[in-house]
Amino acid sequence: MSAAARAEPDLTSPGESPAAAGQAPAPGGARPLPLFRAAALSARADHWLGATQAVQPWPIRVVAPIGAALAAALVAFLVFGQYTQRARVQGVLAPSGGLIRLASPQGAQILSLKVADGDRVAKGEPLYVLDLDRRTESGAASEAVLTAIKSQRDELQKELLRRTAADRDRQAALRTKLEDIARETAQVDRQIATGEDYVRVLEEELASYKDYLKRGITIQRDVADRRSRLMTEKTQLEQLRRDRVRLDSDRNASQSEIAQIDHEGGSKLSEIRRQIAEADRTIAETEAQRRIEITAPEAGRVTAVVGHAGQAVPKDAPLLTIVPENGALQANLYAESSAIGFVREGAQVMLRYAAYPYQKFGQHPGVVAAISRAALRAEEVDDGVPMPPELQGRGALYRLTVKPDASEIAAYGKREPLQAGMQVEADIFLDTRPIWQWILNPILSLRSLHGGPDAPAAKEGAW
């Protein structure tokens, strides 16, 4: 027998014949050789026990697909989901042109109030009349001054009337005299013309009588008589001509006197009028120092009326506020420097008005219209609407001007207008990215900060 045959183990079961085990009997009584390999026999050794089955509890069959679906949903959410970074700021509603707050220019007493809360006023319309007069033991300090000045002005006006009447009467008398001179001059002119004609007749008659005397028709006495009559008529004609010259002189004198009255009287009347104007100016200044009328600087609606008639107010005391008529409402939001870096004009904003809780009335959209380039302190805000009290202690803040999409909101089935001065809170949408970028951004930021061969690429790809 060979060594390989001796080493082969006996794989037959006890009591099993070699033929049953698949062994062929060896001739000469030698040990039989196996018909099948030992590995094949070993594999079939437990076959009689049946096939093996993996049994799983039913919860695993249910939970495993659900878990896989949730994992896939989480991955999809991280890849396709987005998150928007927001900045939360606070502010107040104000007109685009600011509120107009009127105050007393100095300590005074309100004499009259001409408007009421909610009234619409035009530009220049009277609002208040203030009494600025100082009181002394004898009464109002300026009242006595006004009385004296008014009395002086009344006397000047009376003097003006007297002088005007006197000059008018003198001029009327002179014009009447001129009319008389004109009539008398016309009469003298007619007499002179008649006298001249009569003198020519007498001269012709004298010449005829001289001719008659030469021819002996008349006597010398008749010629002398005609000469005497001619001389008498010439004398009267010269007298008329002297009267005519005197009348011209009188007319010129009267005209000169009228002109002198106009000149001298006009100068005196002008001086009196100047004194009256000076008195009026003094009265106006005294009245201005005593009483002033506060008018509306712009058209709008009156609100927040504080002062009332009879009330004494100190200097710079608020009286009322005017909301400009053409001023659209805007939200003045104030943000710290940490929240201003990524805010841009045109950014979307969701506004929440303190007067209308957002839990019940919702949030309202708006758009960033302007961003201040310098930080402002509470005392530097001059639009008539101060910062909210909770912001005034935070130092300098940046102002964001936001235009709401609507100037009214729907509340209980009605449209309620927004009012200037309402406090507002807002969320400003800064940056929208996929969620996985937000998760990986710190790691990429560290790479860009520490540098390295790929640091420029990391900086370019940072989110």
244 domain-assigned: yes
CA 181 vs CA 161, 238, 249, 263, 452: distances in Å: 30, 19, 10, 23, 124
Mean local confidence (pLDDT), 174-185: 89
259 domain-assigned: yes
pLDDT band at 453 (very low <50, low <70, confident <90, very high): very low
pLDDT of residue 365: 92
Token pair listed for 315: 């200097």
pLDDT band at 209 (very low <50, low <70, confident <90, very high): confident
Mean local confidence (pLDDT), 322-335: 83
CATH (domain of 195): 1.10.287.1490
Is 241 found in the same domain as 150?
Answer: yes
Q: Which of 146-150, 275-279, 382-386, 456-460 has the lowest mean pLDDT?
A: 456-460
Flag whether pLDDT at 321 surpasses 50.
Answer: yes
Determine contact, residues 333/402, Cβ cutoff 8 Å: yes
Is 416 found in the same domain as 352?
Answer: yes
> What residues does 416 pair with on adjacent strands?
409
Mean local confidence (pLDDT), 314-324: 86
CA dist 315 and 325 (Å) reads 28
Q: Which of 105-109, 402-406, 450-454 has the highest mean pLDDT?
A: 402-406
Mean local confidence (pLDDT), 432-450: 72
Indicate the average pLDDT of the chain. Answer: 79
More confident residue, 314 or 1: 314
pLDDT band at 379 (very low <50, low <70, confident <90, very high): low
Token pair listed for 190: 């007619």
CATH (domain of 427): 2.40.30.170
pLDDT of residue 351: 92
Given 234, 266, 289, which residue is the final one in a domain? 289
277 domain-assigned: yes
More confident residue, 15 or 172: 172
Is 334 found in the same domain as 399?
Answer: yes
308 domain-assigned: no
54 domain-assigned: no
> For residue 197, which of 171, 223, 225, 233 has the smallest C-alpha distance?
233
Is 349 found in the same domain as 238?
Answer: no
Is 162 found in the same domain as 87?
Answer: no
pLDDT of residue 382: 59
pLDDT of residue 455: 47
Is 351 found in the same domain as 256?
Answer: no
Q: Supply the DSSP symbol for 356.
A: S
Q: What is the pLDDT of residues 82-129, one digit of tens each?
A: 877 777 888 888 888 778 888 888 888 888 888 888 889 998 899 988
Is 284 found in the same domain as 156?
Answer: yes
Range of the domain at 236: 139-289
pLDDT of residue 134: 64
Flag whether pLDDT at 38 surpasses 80.
Answer: no
Q: Which of 41-55, 111-125, 403-417 has the lowest mean pLDDT?
A: 41-55
Flag whether pLDDT at 50 surpasses 70.
Answer: no
Determine contact, residues 254/170, Cβ cutoff 8 Å: no
Mean local confidence (pLDDT), 333-359: 85
pLDDT of residue 385: 66
266 domain-assigned: yes
Q: How many domains does the chain have?
A: 2
Flag whether pLDDT at 172 surpasses 80.
Answer: yes
pLDDT of residue 447: 63
Is 151 found in the same domain as 276?
Answer: yes
268 domain-assigned: yes
Is 278 found in the same domain as 362?
Answer: no
> What residues does 87 pair with on adjacent strands?
428
pLDDT of residue 254: 87
Is 145 found in the same domain as 283?
Answer: yes
305 domain-assigned: no
Determine contact, residues 97/324, Cβ cutoff 8 Å: yes
Mean local confidence (pLDDT), 227-251: 88
Strands 408-411 and 414-417, bridge-based pairing: antiparallel
Rounded to 5 degrees, what are φ and ψ at 132? -100, 5
Flag whether pLDDT at 21 surpasses 70.
Answer: no
Q: Which of 45-59, 273-287, 309-323, 388-402 has the lowest mean pLDDT?
A: 45-59
Is 247 found in the same domain as 168?
Answer: yes
Is 334 found in the same domain as 285?
Answer: no
Dmax of the chain from CA atoms?
245
Flag whether pLDDT at 214 surpasses 50.
Answer: yes
pLDDT band at 366 (very low <50, low <70, confident <90, very high): very high
